[in-house]
Amino acid sequence: MGFLHLSGLGKVHFHEYGKGQKPMLAFHGYGMTGKQFHVLEKSILKDYHIYGFDHFFHDESKIDDWTEQQIITGMPKAMVKAYVEEWFKIYGRQRFSVMGYSIGANLALILVEEYADLIDEIILMAPDGLSVYKGFHFLMHNSFGRLFFKRITKSNWLATSMLNFLKKVRFIDAGLYQIGYSEMDTPKKRLDVYYTLNLIRLLKPDTEKIAALINQHKIPCKLIFGQHDNLFPKSAALPFIQKLNNAEVHELPLGHWLVIPALDEYLANFEI
């Protein structure tokens, strides 16, 4: 493990693991760490050496002395390049692959925009960034939604009440409810949710450009979805998938919580 010092942004912590030799830059989902993909030992980790980056407001990654206004304004998309440029300074300029789960897919996709000529493979799991998710867009870009989101972080009861409602109407499953509850049961955790999602609010991939680059450079692209995922389902990603020439698409009988041993077994058996 180590750190990348991103000028004007902060200190990004990363984890290293995997038995393979091929480098892969990996970005986890909310509430996890860069070690999230360690369960994929029979499939992806046998071929790749993972550099799993912690998001800001997660584990040991620390943002510089940004004001709250700077954080909620959002991190400029151009800053994502700094992850790779600083990684190159340590390990040398070379080819690499990218992997992203949920909100982490936004960063992986933006790196495809910038470094398509150096990327060997793309793996996306329940990916954000392939379509506009109305719930997040409302909270991040609508003036009323942004005010409501801020109020949630200041309230001791509103966040849990909202989670209970979303579970009751089956918008989220029990697994997502437990994750959401565990990440919003203290004032600090709620503030971290607020800061995290606002910091990445501007990190929206250009899917038209990315699809064209994947086709141009013939980059193998593996997309994995959960059949019962109400957050980022396969149906929302279909317009993007249909633009790709040779995408490998998988849909498992799971919800949004995909990075588990069952996925490892599935991928290991699929490759046999």
Q: Model confidence over 216-272: pLDDT tens digits?
A: 999 999 999 999 888 899 999 999 999 999 999 999 999 888 999 999 999 999 864
pLDDT computed for residue 41 by the predictor: 96
User: For the residues 132-155, what does the mean pLDDT come to?
Assistant: 75
pTM for the whole thing? 0.91
Number of Cβ within 10 Å of residue 3's Cβ equals: 16
pLDDT band at 172 (very low <50, low <70, confident <90, very high): low
pLDDT band at 138 (very low <50, low <70, confident <90, very high): confident
Please state the domain extents for the chain: 2-131+203-271
Residues in the chain, total: 272
- CA–CA distance, 208 with 211 (Å, rounded to integer): 5
Q: Judge whether residue 52 has pLDDT over 60.
A: yes
Tokens (6 digits) for 109: 């996709």
Least confidently predicted of 113-127, 152-166, 195-209, 249-263: 152-166
- CA–CA distance, 43 with 57 (Å, rounded to integer): 29
Q: Judge whether residue 71 has pLDDT over 60.
A: yes
pLDDT band at 143 (very low <50, low <70, confident <90, very high): confident
User: DSSP readout, the chain?
Assistant: -EEEEETTTEEEEEEEE-S-SEEEEEE--TT--TTGGGG-TTTGGGTEEEEEEPPTTSTT-EE-S--HHHHHH---GGGGHHHHHHHHHHH-S--EEEEEETTHHHHHHHHHHHHGGGEEEEEEES-SSSS--HHHHHHHHSHHHHHHHHHHHH-SSHHHHHHHHHHHTTSS-HHHHHHHHHTSSSHHHHHHHHHHHHHTTT----HHHHHHHHHHHT--EEEEEETT-SSS-HHHHHHHHTT-SS-EEEEES--S---SHHHHHHHHHHH-
pLDDT computed for residue 175 by the predictor: 66
Cβ atoms of 229 and 259 within 8 Å: the answer is no
- CA–CA distance, 138 with 143 (Å, rounded to integer): 8
The overall average pLDDT reported for the chain is 90
pLDDT computed for residue 5 by the predictor: 95
- CA–CA distance, 159 with 150 (Å, rounded to integer): 11
177-211, pLDDT tens digit by residue? 776 777 677 888 888 888 999 999 999 999 999 99
Helix orientation angle between 143-154 and 158-168, rounded to the nearest 10 degrees: 110
What is the maximum alpha-carbon separation in the chain?
51
Amino acid sitting at position 109: L
Cβ atoms of 224 and 210 within 8 Å: the answer is no
Contacts of 178 by beta carbon, 8 Å cutoff, 6+ apart: none
Q: Judge whether residue 171 has pLDDT over 70.
A: no
**Which superfamily, per CATH, for 2-131+203-271?**
Alpha/Beta hydrolase fold, catalytic domain (3.40.50.1820)
pLDDT band at 48 (very low <50, low <70, confident <90, very high): very high
Least confidently predicted of 3-17, 99-113, 125-139: 125-139
pLDDT computed for residue 154 by the predictor: 74
Identify the residue with better confidence: 55 or 194: 55
The gap from C-alpha 256 to its chain's centroid, in whole angstroms, comes to 12
